[in-house]
Amino acid sequence: MKTMTFDPTRDFASQMDADDPLRSFRKRFHIPKQADGMDGVYLCGHSLGLQPKAVASCIEEELKDWATLGVEGHSRAQHPWMPYHRFVTEQMAEIVGAKPLEVVVMNSLTVNLHLLMVSFYRTTSERHKILIEKGAFPSDRYAVTSQIRMRGLDPATSLIELTPRPGESCLRDEDILESIGREGRSIALILLPGVNYATGQAFDLKNITTQGHLRGCAVGFDLAHAAGNLQMQLHDSGADFAAWCTYKYLNGGPGCIAACFVHERHARSWQLPRFAGWWGHDEKTRFQMGPDFHPMEGAEGWQLSNPPILALAALRASLDLFAEAGMERLRTKSRLTTDYLRYLLEESTFGGFSIITPREPERHGAQLSLQITSGDRGVCERLLAAGVTVDWREPDTVRVAPVPLYNTFVDVYEFSRRFAAAMQ
């Protein structure tokens, strides 16, 4: 992508919006309002994506079928409930660069991580460690330490945490790979994010996976901040597994159903241990109600229970928009809006903050993280009072994410102007 020459004026931002090929998608979302009734500046899609307007009709369709058909809705609904999770499989697989066989929408993110670690965290006396980043999302750390303890091991000796160099906020790629090379023979599982939730740093999935596999490690990823944000090639990365939520960039709604990926080379690995549930059983014999579990091929074999239809209906409304827009176009706009945000912040005449997200486009997504020198959380409160929604992560970071489906260049311009006022 060619380097864009930016201008720090509202007129420039308005012209960029006028030229935006994705500008019509904003009208298909509900935008929270300011006190004066005007659209607010919502830059918090990294935490909770906005509601597509089609969500109401998608859910209402299922409520109507439930009311009129009852249990027969499993087979006779407009979108029959029995195979409903498959209505989103191809779209979800396209978003993360996977094959439909490798993807299933189910459960919640941490539940899926636990289920996948049951299968892929296999320990021996020599190989028992899990490699994560020290700045991992707390739920991930809780999950891996509990998995370690469930095997009678001690996190003090079985957990490796990658730490940035002194004075730096992000991990260097070479340091990640050096740790894998040094500790690889003792590592059973590498579990890293696609994007760090606090800094916005994106990780090199393919290189990490390649180096991990060369040393006999299983490799998995938490893609909570990457799915719907980065243009990924999950299948080609070779990762053994991944899991992600759908309420951030994927706009599925608060606490919405999650998804997971299991590489196709494991599609028929019947010998892998797993926690079993009836919806993962071979669908050809599922309703024979036999006592023995026979898993389905692919990621569907990790399912436990039949899926929540209303949650899937909300997600389907959003994934239809992703399919229409396409990840390539979304990523192109994301890079432009994020570059514009960085430009405006670096052109500013006030201080008191630094951008800790890597500069290189391939090393971040839509999010820029701003470290507030004073640690003043009141910055977020003042922004909210000014009609700007971002969020704060302890101890000192404001996270800002121009989401390409519904954010505009004027949103970015207005944030920079109101952020200056909030800082001063």
Beta bridge partners of 192: 221
Q: What is the pLDDT of residue 1?
A: 55
The pLDDT assigned to 277 comes to: 97
Span 201-242, pLDDT tens digits: 999 999 999 999 999 999 999 999 999 999 999 999 999 999
| Crossing angle of helices 409-423 and 378-385, rounded to 10° | 130
Query: What count of other Cβ atoms lies within 10 Å of the Cβ of residue 370?
Result: 21
pLDDT attached to residue 18? 98
Cα distance between residue 162 and residue 183, in whole Å: 12
User: How far, CA to CA in Å, does 327 sit from each of 99, 184, 294?
Assistant: 16, 34, 36
Is 0.85 topped by the overall pTM? yes
What pLDDT is attached to residue 4? 81
End-to-end CA distance of the chain: 35
Hey, what domains does the chain have and what are their CATH numbers?
A: 10-30+326-423 (3.90.1150.10), 61-322 (3.40.640.10)
Q: Which residue reads 């405006």 in tokens?
A: 344
Helices (H), 121-249: 138-150, 155-158, 173-183, 205-214, 234-237
- Tell me the per-residue pLDDT of 51-68, one tens digit each, with 9 for 90 and over: 999 999 999 999 999 999
In this structure, are residues 130 and 159 in contact, taking their beta carbons and an 8 Å threshold? Answer: yes
Distance set, CA 155 to CA 119, 131, 164 (Å)? 19, 11, 20
Helix H, strand E, coil C: the string for 50-112 is: CCECCHHHHHHHHHHHHHHHHHHHHHHCCCCCCCHHHHHHHHHHHHHCCCHHHEEECCCHHHH
For 347, the 3-state DSSP assignment is helix
279 phi-psi bin (left φ>0, alpha ψ -120 to 50, beta other): alpha
Question: Partners of 355 in the beta sheet?
Answer: 370
Query: What per-residue confidence (pLDDT) applies to 349?
Result: 84
Residues 154 and 150: their CA atoms lie apart, in Å, by: 9
Distance CA 176, CA 293 (A): 39
Radius of gyration of the chain (CA): 22
Output the CA angle 76-81-86, nearest 5 degrees.
Answer: 120
Low-confidence ranges of the chain (pLDDT < 70): 1-2
The reported pLDDT for the residue numbered 2 is 60
**CA neighbor of 223 nearest in space, from 382, 384, 349, 109:** 109
Whole-number Å distance between alpha carbons of 5 and 181:
41
